[in-house]
Amino acid sequence: MSSASNATDAAVIKSFAAIPALLEQAPALIVRGRLLDCDCLLGPTGHPFHATIRAGRIVDLTPAPVLMRSWRFAYRATPAAWAAYWQSEPRPGWHDLLALTKRGEAMLEGDLHPFMAHLQYFKDVLALPRHHFTVAA
Amino acid sequence: MNGTIEPMVGRYVHVDIGGEMHRIYFEEAGAGIPLLCLHTAGSDARQWRHLLADAEFAKNFRIIAFDMPWHGKSNPPASWTGEEYQLTTARYTETIRAFCHALKLEKPVVMGCSIGGRIVLNLAIDHAAEFRALIGLEAADFQAPWYDTTWLNRPDVHGGEVCAALVSGLIAPQSPDVTRTETLWGYKQGGPGVFKGDLYFYRVDGDLRGRVETIDTKVCPLFLLTGEYDFSCTPEDTKRTAAAIGGASVTIMEQLGHFPMSENPEQFRRYISPVLGEILKQSMQHRQGVQV
């Protein structure tokens, strides 16, 4: 693996770990997820996180794998896809979670009900690193 | 009077569709060449309000936009008893032609977006001689599905929220927040199962692959314009469709998605203005030719 892709992977993992704190700064988004309690798997394909969501807050975000931890749904995308999605002005086809699944850069699996019932919430939560994302030179 | 009043006027016309009268709401502005505008699946004719308010276009075009039955202010027909709504190619085509007949529109231009763009292709295939020009926005003969439409209408998921959230990704990131929000509001207000029913035409019944080759653009000019951020009807889908049609004009619109006329009216105007100008020029040349 090249040093450039290593740097992208590291930057994506670091940005994911910062999402719970960014969400705490977005009270309107928390309100939108106020009825959501869900354990899900989110993140880069090779290094996803177990997210514990309670009343719209991410109360725990732990790198996978965790022994025998269950999840209801998983949304995992390539590091390149997250890096593109988090650009302040994403390129066409890289600008939406479902654009990424359509182009094969992301996988959506499991029981999709919590994801679909709170689709805009998840789109917006997973876009929180936009405007903050940088890859170390 | 102190308030600003916009130029479009809304009225109802009673239209015979399939042997039953439908009370159809439409808005219009301007005078000249009839320009009939078709809204996207699951929304209504408010998407065209910026075009309807365009004073320059209104000098030469009678701009008209109607709500399809089940959409906006056009209620379902009186005979409807709650069964599942499903739009078909035949029904959609019949509705447009019946509306044009009811208003006695003479050789109108029809401009449709998304499902409206798809049906424009069907009009070009089967009824080209009835129209002055056809404009398909976000139009293709077929698109690969990218979600399961059963999510759009089920009791345990809010229909308005999920419809809007699904299509939100089809809006270009550069589109202003205010017009993005308004575009999505149309989806949040749709009746239960209506967006899903429209997509029956889009996904199941309206596959035009293998038929668009018969379009003769010498009978009726065809203009196709697609936003670069539309990942539902991609620029590649439109280009592939146009490649099978001799003489079709194709434009890929930058910084626009699946709802050009409503998500970013200013940006859309940059692209539709030359198309309407070309139609006006051709129309005037034709009229002069007839007079000579």
**Residue A118 covered by a domain:** yes
Domain boundaries, chain B: 9-291
> How many Å apart are CA B12 and CA A125, to the nearest integer?
43
Question: Where does chain B have alpha helices with state H?
Answer: 49-52, 55-58, 89-102, 115-126, 159-168, 177-188, 194-199, 235-243, 260-263, 265-291
Residues in chain A, overall count: 137
Q: What is the mean pLDDT of residues B45-61?
A: 98
> How many Å apart are CA B60 and CA B39, to the nearest integer?
21
pLDDT higher than 60, residue B227: yes
DSSP label at B151? Answer: G
- Whether a cis peptide bond, with omega within 30° of 0, leads into A65 is yes
> Which residue type occupies B196?
K
CA distance A3 to chain B (A): 30
A119 touches chain B (CB under 8 A): yes
Q: What is the mean pLDDT of residues B140-151?
A: 96
Torsion of CA B168, B43, B8, B98, to 10 degrees: 150
Contact B264, B252 (CB under 8 A): no
Order of strands across the sheet that contains A37-44: A57-63, A49-54, A37-44, A73-77, A106-110
Find how far residue B200's CA is from the centre of its chain: 16
DSSP label at B141? Answer: S
Q: Which two tokens stand for residue B196?
A: 């899903």
Counting Cα atoms < 13 Å in the Cβ hemisphere of A15 gives: 27
Q: Which two tokens stand for residue B240?
A: 């592939």
Q: Which two tokens stand for residue A41?
A: 């798997």
pLDDT higher than 90, residue B174: yes
Q: Using an 8 Å CB-CB cutoff, list residues of chain B that contact chain A.
A: 144, 146-147, 151, 156-158, 161-162, 164-166, 168-170, 172-174, 228-229, 231, 234
CB atoms within 10 A of CB B148: 9
pLDDT higher than 60, residue B290: no
Please state, rounded to an integer, the average pLDDT across all residues of chain B.
97
Q: What is the mean pLDDT of residues B262-290?
A: 93
The pLDDT tens digits for A68-120 are 999 999 999 999 999 999 999 999 999 999 999 999 999 999 999 999 999 99
CA distance A21 to chain B (A): 24
* Of B158, B164, B169, Cβ closest to residue A95: B169
Query: Considering only CB atoms, which chain A residues are within 8 Å of B149?
Result: none
What's residue B292's pLDDT?
40
Q: Which two tokens stand for residue B197?
A: 């029913």
Residues in chain B, overall count: 292
**Residue A121 covered by a domain:** yes
**Residue A28 covered by a domain:** yes
Domain count, chain A: 1
pLDDT higher than 80, residue B17: yes
A34 touches chain B (CB under 8 A): no
Q: What is the mean pLDDT of residues B219-245?
A: 98
- Domain B9-291 top-level CATH class: alpha beta
Contact B45, B28 (CB under 8 A): no
**Residue A102 covered by a domain:** no
Q: Where are any strands of DSSP class E within A1-137?
A: 37-44, 49-54, 57-63, 73-77, 106-110
**Residue A18 covered by a domain:** yes
Q: Torsions phi, psi of B45, nearest 5?
A: -70, -5
Pairing, β B20-29 against β B61-66: antiparallel
What's residue A131's pLDDT?
85
* Of A89, A112, A120, Cβ closest to residue B168: A120
**Helix then strand then coil, % of chain A, to nearest 5:** 40, 25, 40
Residue A111's domain comprises: 3-76+107-125
Pairing, β A106-110 against β A73-77: antiparallel
Query: What share of chain A has pLDDT > 70, as a percent?
Result: 98
CA distance B235 to chain A (A): 10
For chain A, the distance separating the N- and C-terminal CA atoms, rounded to the nearest angstrom, is 16
Closest residue, chain A, to B174 (C-alpha): A89
Instruction: Report the candidate in B1, B72, B13, B68 with the shortest Cα–Cα distance to residue B37.
Output: B68
ipTM of the complex: 0.95
Q: Torsions phi, psi of B210, nearest 5?
A: 85, -5
Instruction: Report the candidate in B89, B66, B117, B65 with the shortest Cα–Cα distance to residue B225.
Output: B117
Q: What is the mean pLDDT of residues A5-33?
A: 96
Burial B167-182 (b: 16+ CB within 10 A, else e): bbbbbbbebeeebbeb
Q: Which residue has the tokens 């308004």?
A: B182
Is A96 strand, coil or helix?
Answer: coil
Is B172 strand, coil or helix?
Answer: coil
Size of interface A-B (CB pairs under 8 A): 54
Is B86 strand, coil or helix?
Answer: coil
